[in-house]
Structure 1
Amino acid sequence: MRAHEVVLHRIEQDLAAARLRVGDRLPAERALAEDLGVGRSSVREAIRVLEAMGVVKTSVGSGPDAGAIVVADPATSIGSALRLHMATQFLPIADVVQTRVLLESWALREAAARTPDLSAIDELLDRMDDQSLEPDQFHRLDAELHVRFAGLAGNVLIEAMMTSLRDSIHGYVMDAVPMLDDWSAVAVNLRCEHRGIVDALRRGHGAKAATLAREHIEGFYGLMRLD
């Protein structure tokens, strides 16, 4: 179970035991992270999933209305969401690839018209340029990058769906690495393709960014020889 799934599971338990009810505020991000031994980014990821499901509503700031508040009785729904997170690790690879293309292409087209903040994505790209990264490290960053792409459009449901697929994406990619003739050369090409997508976004060329993303996703799938 990944870190954000641990957070989801804990909140599900609290709701089922009536320790949390509609109208209650979730524990503070830092408190949840420390209590569960996970990073604050994992807590934020879990809350994004809950918000996409309509379970909580979040408000920024430091006043009495800040934070995440339970707005629906979600005990059954959140259990289903957690099971979805786990089940996506076993979906057919071709279906995952096709879904990625649909989600990311749409998100990139939408994002280009919004002049998105690309600073977090630029940071990920810089980290992925580290030549000493092992394939597992590289592809965990790669999976995070593609979740970020999906999140640029501002649609929390699209981002939550991509987050749910992340383990499945990382799994099939890592299965492919031993089949590649030259991982180093493939990594160089992937870095170049990533930067091409971001460059198109930065220029406001949404259709081009979407096309490059589709070619990038399908191109790697073609290298896998897993059909």
Structure 2
Amino acid sequence: MAALLRLQVAAQGFPLADVVQTRLVLEGAVVAALGADPRRDLAAARSVLDAMDDDALTPSEFLALDASLHYALAEAAGNTVITATMAGLRTAIESYVVEGAGRIARWDAMASRLRAEHRAIVAAIEQGDGAKAQALVVSHITGYYTAAGLVPGGA
């Protein structure tokens, strides 16, 4: 499935609004499920969060880690179909977020904001508050796309 999605992206791409909507549905469900699962293992996600704290990261490096974080959360949920779907969409997601970074005047401020949002999402999961984690991830995804001017009228 991941290979098919990658081929779709390479061949014709997906409309940005569709990618954003898919992210909202999938990632919202992922973090809600993680918040409800006391067996969750967020070690990989925490490791990526720590790597993202390096202020010397370029926007591209930061956004590659950002994609790794979102993928690590999908993996932690333990659903292979969701993980494969996220892997397949990763190229489309990364291309859009990198494009958006070029539209953000103060990247350092945006990176700080994204770091704080990521940590809040993971904290909500760790506290077992799936509903809060879901609301935070939806706000995080739509907030970036809106700030980057990628989604006319919102997602």
Q: TM-score, normalised by structure 2?
A: 0.91
1:147-226 equivalences under 5 Å are 147-226=71-150
Question: Quick check: 2:5–2:89 contact (8 Å CA) kept in 1?
Answer: no
Return the letter of the residue paired with 1:104: E
- Structure 2 equivalent of residue 108 of structure 1: 31
Q: Give, in whole Å, the separation in 1 of the partners of 2:91 and 2:6.
A: 8
Q: Give, in whole Å, the separation in 1 of the partners of 2:4 and 2:23.
A: 20
1:131 corresponds to 2:52: no
- Structure 1 equivalent of residue 69 of structure 2: 145
Q: Give, in whole Å, the separation in 2 of the partners of 1:177 and 1:205.
A: 30
Question: Quick check: 1:108–1:152 contact (8 Å CA) kept in 2?
Answer: no
Q: Could you tell me how far 1:149 is from its partner in structure 2?
A: 1.6
- Between 89-98 and 186-195, report the one with greater CA deviation: 89-98
Question: Quick check: 1:107–1:151 contact (8 Å CA) kept in 2?
Answer: no
Percentage of pairs with the same residue: 43
Q: Give, in whole Å, the separation in 1 of the partners of 2:102 and 2:5.
A: 28
Q: Could you tell me how far 1:184 is from its partner in structure 2?
A: 0.4
**SS, match of residue 131 in structure 1:** coil
Q: Whose radius of gyration is greater, 1 or 2?
A: 1
Q: TM-score, normalised by structure 1?
A: 0.63
Q: Give, in whole Å, the separation in 2 of the partners of 1:95 and 1:202.
A: 29
Q: Could you tell me how far 1:141 is from its partner in structure 2?
A: 0.7
For residues 184-222 of structure 1, give each alpha carbon's deviation from its aligned partner in whole angstroms, at most 9, with x where no partner exists.
000000000000000000000001001100000000010
Return the letter of the residue paired with 2:29: W
Q: Give, in whole Å, the separation in 2 of the partners of 1:225 and 1:97.
A: 13
Q: Give, in whole Å, the separation in 2 of the partners of 1:100 and 1:152.
A: 16
Give unpaired runs (5+ residues) of structure 2.
Answer: none
- Structure 2 equivalent of residue 97 of structure 1: 20
Q: Give, in whole Å, the separation in 2 of the partners of 1:162 and 1:84.
A: 9
Structure 1 runs (4+) deviating above 4 angstroms are none
Return the letter of the residue paired with 1:100: R
For residues 103-138 of structure 1, give each alpha carbon's deviation from its aligned partner in whole angstroms, at most 9, with x where no partner exists.
011111111122211111111000000001111111
Q: Give, in whole Å, the separation in 2 of the partners of 1:150 and 1:83.
A: 19
Return the letter of the residue paired with 2:7: M
Give unpaired runs (5+ residues) of structure 1.
Answer: 1-52, 54-80
Q: Give, in whole Å, the separation in 1 of the partners of 2:67 and 2:106.
A: 20
Select the residue among 73, 79, 88 that pairs with 2:9. Answer: 88
State the Cα RMSD in Å. Answer: 1.3
Return the letter of the residue paired with 1:153: A
Question: Quick check: 2:4–2:88 contact (8 Å CA) kept in 1?
Answer: no
